[in-house]
Structure formats: structure tokens, C-alpha cells
Amino acid sequence: MIVLDGVTKTYNAGKSNAFTALEGISGTIEAGRMTVITGPSGSGKSTLLSLIGCMSRPTSGRVFFEGREITSLPERFLAEIRRREFGFVFQDYNLIRGLGVLENVMLPGFPLGIPRRELKTRAGTLLEMLEIRGLESRNVTLLSGGEQQRVAIARALINDPRVLIAHELPPTWTLV
């Protein structure tokens, strides 16, 4: 589903502080499976996830998503793939502080033009599944850590993505 072909990522390329975080990485991430990326701090896991999730581009090498080379796509196409095909649970959750739980969960659906009513139904189902039903109107700043995490997971799933990228979920989490 996702293929990396000789991917290298150099931060500040061409400058005196250039740093190569990934060098010649190749591999395949298969559909319908959970793939775990582990390694010491600083080994490039976050860098790799940002490439896989179309959030940044490699300095060299190619990334394919479902057979299509995405490395050279213009930003607006990349953004479209990111929105439709990927759900992200960020390490620090990145919930929008001024908004309630329901609004946070529905948010990624708006750029895709999904009707509000449909989003609300989907969000309700996800909150139910994650056992946080009843928190819809709660401000996210008032949630416990575990509740914030589940809101972030619900938000990542709202567009029914093909790929869920979960950045450093604790090992107690089982994704289904």
C-alpha cells in the first residue's frame, strides 16, 4: 500500500547545519495490517512518519501510495491525499483548545465537504466506540489525558481513512 524506495531525508540540506535523519530507507507497509516502527530516540521515526503521512517530502528517493508516486506531486494534491486517506493521532494530540469535543472530532470532515449532519452521526458512533459518549460539549482543555487521546483517535477516524498513523501511542492501546 505504501512503498518507500531509497528514501533519504536531510534537514537543512546544503547548509552548514545539514543533518541526514534517514538514509536510503526502503520498505513496504502493507494494507490491512498494523505496522510498528520502533528505534532509539533520534533514529528518525517521526521523520519517517511525516514522509509516510505526506506531511513532508524526502530529499531523495520515492514514496508510493497505492502504486502512485506521491513524492513529486504538487502540494495541493498531497494535501488532498492526506485529508482523504490518512488519519493522524499526534504525539501531543493537537486538539483545538477553543473547541469542544464534538467540534474537534468533526473538524477534518469539513474540508471534504461532508454534511454537518453526517459528520455528527459519524462522530457519535466513534465516541460511542471509544467510550467517551457524553463528552460532546466538553471543552477539550478539561479532559483527562486518556480522554484527550480518545478524542484525538476519534478525530483521526472521522473521514474513515485508509491509513491511521498513531504517533507514540502507549503500548496498552490496541487498535482494531
DSSP for 70-89, written as a single string: -TTS-HHHHHHHHHHHEEEE
Confirm or reject binding of residue 56 to Mg ion (CB under 5 A). Answer: no
Amino acid identity, position 117 = R
**In whole angstroms, how close is the CB of 86 to ligand ATP at the nearest point?**
18
Give the CA count within 13 Å in the CB-facing half-sphere of 118.
10
* Degrees, nearest 5: CA angle 20-66-113: 100
Separation between Cα atoms, residue 122 and residue 119, nearest integer Å: 5
Confirm or reject binding of residue 60 to Mg ion (CB under 5 A). Answer: no
Residue among 8, 46, 50, 125 that touches Mg ion (CB under 5 A): 46
**In whole angstroms, how close is the CB of 116 to ligand ATP at the nearest point?**
36
Tell me which residues in 26-65 interact with ligand ATP (CB under 6 A). 39, 41-47
CB-nearer residue toward ligand ATP: 43 or 121: 43
Q: For binding to ligand ATP (CB under 6 A), which residues are involved?
A: 11-12, 19, 21, 39, 41-47
